[in-house]
Structure 1
């Protein structure tokens, strides 16, 4: 299929128009010819030389990422950014980015996939950012320990996962915003949630969480944002017939 056809499908499937106006990311085709043919697409969280080289080694014509190269105002193609773009162009590889649409989507998004893994019921939009909800909240079928929920989401506990255990030991209500949702903990407190899940941690919210009596799971920016690209890899393969592959390049953050 043409890259432009993939772009049209992704924009509709992930509802770009709902959130694009408040997203700093240049969502969509960032590098590449819209008329180029693609049959193999690699999926990764971050646009970086490592993901570019591994995608090229896999014979991909395109790389789909959550964190692209271009944010906000126009950027000069010099230094590291210039080298990255040069590599893509020299290898005739397209770069496709999808940021907030892949956080907020109710089926394929990072937060929606965490909702599904946890088995939450009574799911509602949560976490307002610039007038749009980008996360979800819900209720567990029965009270659960934090360790059980971590195992269900990630399958392990390691040094990348931190927690503030200031809320109930038996958790029932949960809200989440993948990636950098530290400041939105105040919304979780206002909603009276037992547990708030996000990626990045911050010293600045420690005392607020302690005094409010809420559990907070800082699972890592990367770990909370692998779900959407994995879901899109599966969707593009099943719906579009593309040969897809997710590559794992953890950052430890």
Structure 2
């Protein structure tokens, strides 16, 4: 399999085309490579200089990320962008990015994995963004308290960035949108959810949560968006038989 064949496979699997008009990210192949066969793919949340260098050191021919290098407008190839692209080109390593499609995917997406980690039942799409729902909501049965929910979302024992305990102590109805989506709390409150989970907080959400009597957890942008790339890596290994490596670079944010 070469990089063009991988792009076709991944873009079909993740329904890249459905998000062309709503996502600032240039989803799909952002940096190409020569026509040689792919043997090893690296996976990471961010296309940082460190992850690119570590992918090169691991011997990968391509790097798959959630947050790529190009976001909706032309950029001068200078500074940090030049440094990142230089390593990719010197290594003949492709870069494939998948942003909102990897949040929304019903099986491999960040939010689908989080819903399964929580053990939600009756899972339904949630969190409308430019006409497309990118998160999920469902029911906890039996219900849990906030501490138990945090332990499910952050099983390694990491601390949530923000917890606002303004809703019911016994939590049954939960909505999730990973990453930087604090204002989808308004949708969760309007739908009568007990708890809304995302990655990042916002100052103004404090009062919205308090006045709407809904619980809020910001579990971390990185921590809520590490799951999709790992799920795709597992699928690549299973279906394509390629070697994969996940490059961990947590930001704590």
Which residue is 2:3 aligned to? 3
What's the counterpart of residue 29 of structure 2? Answer: 29
1:85-164 to 2 correspondence within 5 Å? 85-164=85-164
Relative distance call for 1:185 and 1:175 in structure 2 (3 A) is: same
Contact 1:3 1:35 in 2 (8 A): yes
Tell me if 1:183 matches 2:219. no
Shift of 1:145: 1.3
Counterparts of 1:37 and 1:77 in 2: how far apart (Å)? 28
Indicate yes or no: 2:214 matched with 1:220: no
C-alpha separation in 1, matches of 2:18 and 2:34 = 23
SS across alignment from 2:21: helix
What does the per-residue CA deviation read over 1:179-204, in whole Å, with 9 as the maximum and x for residues that have no partner?
01111110000011001000011111
Residues 49-68 of structure 1 aligned to structure 2 (within 5 Å): 49-68=49-68
CA-CA distance at 1:157 after TM superposition: 4.0
- Distance in 1 between residues matched to 2:20 and 2:217, nearest whole Å: 28
Q: 2:33 touches 2:94 (CA, 8 Å); kept in 1?
A: yes
Unaligned runs of 5+ in 2: none
- Looking at structure 2, the residues matched to 138 and 18 of structure 1 have their Cα atoms a distance apart, in angstroms, of 24
Deviation at 1:159, TM superposition (A): 4.1
Q: What TM-score does the superposition give when structure 2 sets the normalisation length?
A: 0.97
Partner of 1:236: 236
Contact 1:4 1:34 in 2 (8 A): no
Aligned 8 A contact 1:20 1:101 in 2: no
CA distance in 2: counterparts of 1:139 and 1:104, whole angstroms: 19
TM score, norm. by length of structure 1 = 0.97
Task: Tell me if the contact between 2:38 and 2:61 (Cα under 8 Å) persists in the aligned partners.
Answer: yes
Q: Which moved more, 1:193-202 or 1:148-157?
A: 148-157
Map of 2:17 onto structure 1: 17
